[in-house]
Structure 1
Amino acid sequence: MTPALKLLKGKPHRTLEYAHDPRAPAYGEEAARTLGLEPAQVFKTLVCQLEGGNARQPLVVAVVPVSGTLDLKALARACGARKAALAAHEAAERATGYVVGGISPLGQKKRLPLWVDDSAATQAEIFISGGRRGLEIALAPALLCELGNGQFAPLARDD
């Protein structure tokens, strides 16, 4: 049981598992395709590094649909930072306790500020990583924000 699933114990959610293909170029897209889910409902977890401005924490988590791309300028604005960039894989893994491709926005080793694209708020249910490759969690977006102390903001742009 992953830390994300432990955090969700007793809360309304579902788990979905699939056989992860190590050759898959994009983890979230693989999950959507393999599980037959709408890409706009499957969200990827990205750990980002902030610089300057009013940023109180150098690392944050952005959750955006796999059908889009994280707008780093929008994330920086939402966080009050001057600039945002994707964190190095090693830094993301060290801070969260998860491996890249299986980073969940919940149950991280070090609780990072959580920002969720506002498109999630229009969905009854979204899918996020369960804490390992090949494990997805279905839950209400409001529950994600509640448990992760997250905030909604416009973060994604369409590909």
Structure 2
Amino acid sequence: MTPAIQLAKRAKVKFTVHEYQHDPACESYGEEAAKALNVLPQRVYKTLMVAVNGDNRQLAVAVVPVAGQLNLKAVASALKTKKVSMADPQQAQRSSGYLVGGISPLGQKKSLPTLLDDSAGQFETIFVSAGKRGLEIELRPADLLQLTRGSMAEIGR
């Protein structure tokens, strides 16, 4: 059981875990999850780590649909900072405790500022990584925000 699933259990939020066979040759983990679980790609969200003002020791979490892209300027604006850039993958893994492709916004080693794209508000539930490749957790966007102490913002495109 991953830290993401443990956190959801402890908080007693309603969630469902979905497991599928991950193909190591696949490069788009989120799209692979959407296809394997037979759900709209708009309901599957990827967890991206960003470095605030180029500092890989100061990270934040951005959660956007796998069908879209992250708008770095919008993330910087939502975090009230000058700029953000994609975090170094090794630093993202160290900070979160998860491997790239399986980084969950839930149960990370360090509590980081977390933003969820506002498109999640149109769905009753969304899917995010449960902490490893081939494992997704389905939960309400409001529960994700509560568990991460995150906020919703228009950060995708």
TM normalised by structure 2 equals 0.95
Match for residue 45 of structure 2? 43
- Post-superposition offset of 1:13: 0.3
Q: Deviations over 1:13-43 (max 9, x none)?
A: 0010001001101110110111111000000
Give, as a single letter, the amino acid of the residue that structure 2 aligns with 1:129.
S
Match for residue 103 of structure 1? 103
Match for residue 14 of structure 2? 12
Q: Deviations over 1:62-102 (max 9, x none)?
A: 00001110000100010011111110110000000000000
1:1-159 correspondence runs (5 A): 1-9=1-9, 10-51=12-53, 58-157=58-157
1: CA distance, partners of 2:121 / 2:2: 25
Q: CA RMSD in A?
A: 1.3
Give, as a single letter, the amino acid of the residue that structure 2 aligns with 1:11.
V
Q: Which consecutive segments of 4 or more residues in structure 1 shift more than 6 A?
A: none
Q: Once structures 1 and 2 are overlaid, which stretch shifts more, 16-25 or 57-66?
A: 57-66
- Post-superposition offset of 1:122: 1.4
The count of aligned residue pairs is: 154
- Post-superposition offset of 1:50: 1.0
Sequence identity, in percent? 51
TM normalised by structure 1 equals 0.94
- Post-superposition offset of 1:128: 0.3
1: CA distance, partners of 2:13 / 2:118: 22
1: CA distance, partners of 2:52 / 2:81: 6
2: CA distance, partners of 1:142 / 1:134: 24
Structure 2 unaligned spans of 5+: none
- Post-superposition offset of 1:7: 0.4
2: CA distance, partners of 1:39 / 1:11: 23
2: CA distance, partners of 1:155 / 1:24: 25
